Structure 1
Amino acid sequence: MLAPGDRYWVNNGDCLRRLAWLGSPYPELSWQGQPAAAMAPHDWRRLVVWVGPEPDLLGMDARRAIAYPLQLRGISPAEIEHRTELWAERLGLPSAVWGASPLALSREQQKQIAWVRALALEPPVLLGDRPRWSLSAEASERLAQAWTTLPQTIVVIHDDPTCWSGWQPWSTDAIADDF
């Protein structure tokens, strides 16, 4: 069963998409005793945040792309600013990118922005589809270090278990039964 602070990697993209409710959810999936099938998809998505392999900044500059989902959740501008600066600093995202168009950003910067946005939402569960792709060794290490202090459950997809030392492998069957 998943618990806060759990760290898992899976090698099945379908599994991660179902957890994010991007495909049909597992019928027996539940969160804190409530069946996923009884929840509206938007309620489930408030619990689970997905960062895909190709970051999507929604055509917005970095600051707006990070703030947008926080604004939708009714978070105050001051708190949005605080969370944005906190996670940008921890992940090493330079402030010089804040006003840049997504087209002017490197793939690494786009990926960092996507992770700042996800972490600033403070969801109970984070899902990452190949989270270290497009990141330099330094940026990848910063992301890994940031994860060590999080109370959230994190599930990532990756085909190389050596990248996830100390993380538990999790089968599709286990997720279907235990989540």
Structure 2
Amino acid sequence: MLLQLDRICYTPPNFTRPLLTDISFALAAGEIITVTGITGAGKSTLLRLLNRLSEPTNGQILLNGENYRSLVPMRLRQRVMLVSQEPKLLGMKVRDTLAYPLQLQSIAADEIKQRIITIAEQFEILNDWFDRTELQLSVGQRQIIAIARGLITQPQILLLDEPIANLDFTTAEKVLTAIANITKSQQMGTIIVNHQLELAARFSDRLLYLQDGKLLLDKLSSSVDWQNLQQQIRAAETESMAEWE
């Protein structure tokens, strides 16, 4: 198994209540998992734990059978790549931002050039994007480049936090298709935080539903009652809003 979580709990410093409680699941090579739930359910917190930006309070995480705590964080992050909801291109032009992580790994220039050509084809990145900075790209375009940058390093696991939030439906379909194709062909594992259940149903193998930091549902996508799940989420959102009133 590529990734295993065993009874993960997380309470940030100075917090009196946990943000995650007893989270257990596994991710296989070639598998896509969608994580959903209302705001505050613990989805982004989970991704941060998987990228070692935070450490679990209890429980353990294993990558290919190795305990996370035994792995050097920077090397782990090369194997487990996180693409945040608000991507930054570090002030670089698109071509440079795609090449940069490969240069850090001392990849040969010819290989870098070929990988950029390949990833551009997979995500339909236009030639006139390459000389643009992030200020010359839309938010949606920046999301696409950030996903491509994450995948160009060929990680074992890709973590995506709302990767299609700023894309129209057609573009979102194309991006998720590319992610799915790469996940299967490279036998990596992908975990996507996504609120768009119609697309989650089509582009994931399994679904995790979080509520109040607890894992309420872990099912194959083919066996999920998507209509009932949507009703559950709406009810949870209504309850959450009522608590703030």
TM-score by length of structure 1 reads 0.89
The aligned residue for residue 208 of structure 2 is 170
Q: Percent identity?
A: 28
More strand by share: 2
- Deviation of 1:140 (Å): 1.2
Q: For the residues of structure 1 that align with 2:140 and 2:54, how far apart are their CA atoms? A: 27
Q: What one-letter code is carried by the residue in structure 1 that aligns with 2:124?
A: G
The aligned residue for residue 44 of structure 2 is 13
Which whole-Å deviations, capped at 9, do the CAs of 1:123-151 have from their partners, x for residues lacking one? Answer: 01000000111122232122111123222
Asked if the contact 1:84/1:117 (under 8 Å) is kept, the reply is no
Q: Which range moves more in the overlay, 151-160 or 161-170?
A: 161-170
Asked if the contact 1:125/1:152 (under 8 Å) is kept, the reply is yes
Q: For the residues of structure 2 that align with 1:62 and 1:74, how far apart are their CA atoms? A: 19
Asked if the contact 1:91/1:139 (under 8 Å) is kept, the reply is no
Which structure's relative contact order is higher, taking Cα pairs within 8 Å and 6+ residues apart? 1
> Are residues 35 and 92 of structure 1, via their aligned partners in 2, closer, same or farther at CA, if it must alter by over 3 Å?
same
1:42 has 2:61 as partner: no
- Which of 103, 108, 121 lines up with 2:153 in the alignment? 121
Q: What one-letter code is carried by the residue in structure 2 that aligns with 1:20?
A: N
1:156 has 2:192 as partner: yes
Q: For the residues of structure 2 that align with 1:140 and 1:79, how far apart are their CA atoms? A: 28
Q: Which runs of 4+ in 1 moved over 4 A?
A: 171-174
SS at match of 2:95: helix
- Deviation of 1:8 (Å): 0.6
Q: What one-letter code is carried by the residue in structure 2 that aligns with 1:90?
A: Q
Q: What one-letter code is carried by the residue in structure 1 that aligns with 2:52?
A: W
The aligned residue for residue 28 of structure 2 is 3
Instruction: Note the residue ranges of structure 1 that are not aligned, 5 or more in a row.
Output: 175-179
Q: Which range moves more in the overlay, 85-94 or 125-134?
A: 85-94
Instruction: Note the residue ranges of structure 2 that are not aligned, 5 or more in a row.
Output: 1-25, 37-42, 216-245
- After TM superposition, list the pairs within 5 Å mapping 1:22-171 onto structure 2: 22-25=53-56, 27-149=59-181, 150=183, 151-166=187-202, 167=204, 168-170=206-208
- Deviation of 1:5 (Å): 0.7
Q: For the residues of structure 2 that align with 1:130 and 1:118, how far apart are their CA atoms? A: 14
Higher-Rg structure is 2
Asked if the contact 2:173/2:199 (under 8 Å) is kept, the reply is no
Q: For the residues of structure 1 that align with 2:177 and 2:133, how far apart are their CA atoms? A: 28
Q: What one-letter code is carried by the residue in structure 2 that aligns with 1:155?
A: I
Q: Which range moves more in the overlay, 5-14 or 49-58?
A: 5-14
Q: What one-letter code is carried by the residue in structure 1 that aligns with 2:110?
A: A
Which whole-Å deviations, capped at 9, do the CAs of 1:38-90 have from their partners, x for residues lacking one? Answer: 11111211110111111110110101111111110111111111111111121
CA RMSD of aligned residues (A): 1.8
> Are residues 66 and 161 of structure 1, via their aligned partners in 2, closer, same or farther at CA, if it must alter by over 3 Å?
same
